[in-house]
Structure 1
Amino acid sequence: MRMPVLAIALLVATSTTPLRAAEPGLDGRWVVDLSSEPGKPYTQPMDLALLADGSVTGSFYNSTIEAGRWKRDRGRLCASFRTTDGVGPYHTAVCLVGDHAEGQTWAEHRRFLFNWGATRAPTTAP
């Protein structure tokens, strides 16, 4: 009888505590370059946490990620997630490419698809 109780306790403990993934490549703070005109920089923050269960949490463009998934497949580490501006959803996909990330965001209600690049945010000194 002790084994089932221990197994249930372990299951409850691991299911209520999100575990960080062993895939840190996309984890962390990013600066996304959304510039559409040369010489006019326009960046927004993206914070990603890839969890061991395959989910993604964080924020993009100061909007909380509502639903997200990540996967390593075919030699690439990518994530997809949904955010909102309060009017409609934004669907974003991002892949790690060397030391930077490349992605695209689609907003059907705004009738646009935007390709973008991102670099790691500078680390701040403690």
Structure 2
Amino acid sequence: MIRFLPIVLSLGLAAPAIAQGAGASLDGRWTVDLSSEPGQVYTKEMVLKLAADGTVSGSFYDSEIEAGRWKADRGRTCVSFRTTDGAGPYHSAACLRGDRVEGQTWAEHRRFLFNWNAVRAK
């Protein structure tokens, strides 16, 4: 049984590296389109830092991500996180779709759900 120990250890150590690789394309700086009217331009930066343990840190809409998780599953990589404006929480979820991010943010205290898109920041 001891001869299998290196295999088990290598499998356990490889999992975080595989997970980080899966989320690496979502990791980084994004320009989020928050326009609510056609032809209107309103963008904010989103920074996502995906850790191998499945946590997400960074910022969105000038607010630090307080809690976040990411997962690569069912052919897509997604994040979910919470930020605040000081009056209440904003819950955001987004998935990578090709070279873009499609997301939504829900603010119960403001009574809105907003769909948004993002592209990689230049």
* Shared fold (TM-score, shorter chain, > 0.5): yes
RMSD, aligned α-carbons: 1.3
Cα deviation digits, residues 48-70 of structure 1 (max 9, x gap): 01100000000000100000000
Identical residues among aligned pairs (%): 70
Corresponding residue number in structure 2 for 1:102: 102
Does 1:21 pair with 2:28?
Answer: no
> 3-state DSSP class of the match of 2:114?
strand
Q: Tell me the amino acid that sits aligned with residue 20 of structure 2.
A: A
Distance 2:81 2:26 in 1: 13
Cα deviation digits, residues 7-36 of structure 1 (max 9, x gap): xxxxxxxxxxxx992221110000000000
Q: Tell me the amino acid that sits aligned with residue 106 of structure 1.
A: W
Gaps of 5+ in 1: 1-18
Task: Report the count of equivalent residues.
Answer: 104
Distance 1:115 1:75 in 2: 21
> 3-state DSSP class of the match of 1:39?
coil
Corresponding residue number in structure 2 for 1:78: 78
Distance 2:72 2:40 in 1: 34
Does 1:34 pair with 2:34?
Answer: yes
Does 1:115 pair with 2:118?
Answer: no
Distance 2:63 2:20 in 1: 22
Gaps of 5+ in 2: 1-16
Distance 1:64 1:38 in 2: 29
Corresponding residue number in structure 2 for 1:12: none
Distance 2:113 2:64 in 1: 20
Distance 2:54 2:89 in 1: 21
Normalised by the size of structure 1, how large is the TM-score? 0.80
Distance 1:55 1:65 in 2: 11
